Amino acid sequence: MKKTTFKLTYQSLCAAVLSVGMLNAYAVTPIENWQQPNGTSIWLASSMGIPMVDVHIEFDRGKRRDPEGKMGLSSLAASLASKGVLAWKDRPALDEAALGDAWADLGAEFSIGADDDSFAFALRSLTYPDVLPKSIALAAHQIAAPAFDAAIAQREIEKTIAAIKEAETQPAYVAGVAYAQAVFGNHPYGHVTTEASLKALAIDDLKQFYKTKLNPCHAKVSIVGALTHEQADQMVTQLLEGLQVSGQTSCPSLAVLPDPAKLTEAVKKDISFNSAQAQIMIGQPAMKRSDPDFFPILVGNYILGGSGLVSRLSEQVREKQGLTYSIDSYFAARQSVGEFTIALQTRPDQAQQAVDLSIQVLKDFMEQGPSEEELKAAKANLIGGFPLRIDSNRNLLSNIANMARNGLPLNYLDTWTQKVDAVSIEDIRRAFAAKLQMDKMVTVILGAQAAK
């Protein structure tokens, strides 16, 4: 079993802060990575100062892998897996209420969720000998034997359909759906869960998803807390015991998903909607989270529109022209190519003016890059705020899960501030030019017609 270790230091923290879930600021925490014989990969930051552990178990089984016509499968499976369990091994069946009571009695937390890229389990527990073994056993039971009760499934489907219908009355949701569909086209990132896709789901779909798609050999497990290497390895084995595939001798490969296609032309969508504010979204497919240009993009976007009221977009569109209360830009961090977006709201009669100015600001930024003063201020803020990214077990866990998901090196956090500090104006100009095509932007304006 191969093991690699890098040191993660907290020298940049100026004071030791201790509370439940907080890390010792002066601690030096090793991050280990190893693979179990069955293929499960584990990342561990062992921190013995506080008797607590946080665990994140992730599978590449999110929305982007939902079958065509059955969008919402992974999300519904995650929701129902928390609504009761069948009997398993020597443990009795528990309905939804009894399962909730069991976790409350332990004072532990367990959750299941799905997003665009992943399906994940999360456990938080004290590591006391009279608590942790019971938490692991209960989590293993819930992972292994969700009840998938048909009546509860129907209830959850109806609840989700009602939520979708409510969302369809909200301008931000309608604009977001139209924008995603225009940016991503037929790629799963552009697909939307609908009443029809939910009604197409059957209990057998959920059971098959669980039985065939959550293979431990694909699991990426991130752990932060008071466990040794041996304890963590044993815990992961126990947690995933119920998902083991009998007779499996090799790990089946996951299908390679294509990235969203680049846009071939500009797209503009004007959507009539009775709204006091026009919703505006501008963007296109841009980059994966694992892209080598991540740090130039991070720093550049912080200056352009990612830093709130002090950004270039905010200064030009909000402060100087008074066209919006807030405006921001972002590059979505996805496993497939994610979108670059500028988003704002404005008065319906000012919508086109706001669009034109936002695009001009972006164009000027791409051509000229930031000023030396902007770059210096951005670096200072990003580097100064770095301790907040790792100031608790959960924040550190989130960063380690990001490393696991995107194949980032084990010294990623140790070199984060140096990578930010090394970014130059030319790096930013080159990265933005490589990722964005100014003549092929999607522009969605919802609600502008309300002013007529």
pLDDT band at 11 (very low <50, low <70, confident <90, very high): very low
Q: What's the pLDDT tens digit per position in 316-329?
A: 999 999 999 999 99
Integer Cα distance of 223 and 231 in angstroms:
11
pLDDT at 449: 57
Task: Give CA separation, 404 vs 57, 143, 384, 386, in Å.
Answer: 10, 21, 25, 19
Q: Mean pLDDT over all residues of the chain?
A: 91
Q: What's the pLDDT tens digit per position in 211-270?
A: 999 999 999 999 999 999 999 999 999 999 999 888 888 899 999 999 999 999 999 999
Q: What's the pLDDT tens digit per position in 151-203?
A: 999 999 999 999 999 999 999 999 999 999 999 999 999 999 999 999 999 99
Comparing CA positions, the residue from 450, 27, 25, 38 lying closest to residue 241 is: 38
Dihedral angle sign, alpha carbons of residues 358, 359, 364, 365: positive
Question: Residue 195: helix, strand or coil by DSSP?
Answer: helix
pLDDT band at 425 (very low <50, low <70, confident <90, very high): very high
Count of CB atoms within 10 A of residue 443's CB?
Answer: 22
Class of CATH domain 267-451: alpha beta
Q: What's the pLDDT tens digit per position in 88-132?
A: 999 999 999 999 999 999 999 999 999 999 999 999 999 999 999
pLDDT band at 308 (very low <50, low <70, confident <90, very high): confident
Architecture of domain 3-243: 2-Layer Sandwich (3.30)
In this model, does residue 12 exceed pLDDT 50? no
Q: What's the pLDDT tens digit per position in 366-412?
A: 999 999 999 999 999 999 999 998 989 999 999 999 999 999 999 99
- CATH 3.30.830.10 intervals, the chain: 3-243, 267-451
Integer Cα distance of 259 and 185 in angstroms:
11
Contacts of 376 (CB under 8 A, 6+ apart): none
Count of CB atoms within 10 A of residue 306's CB?
Answer: 19
This prediction has a pTM of 0.89
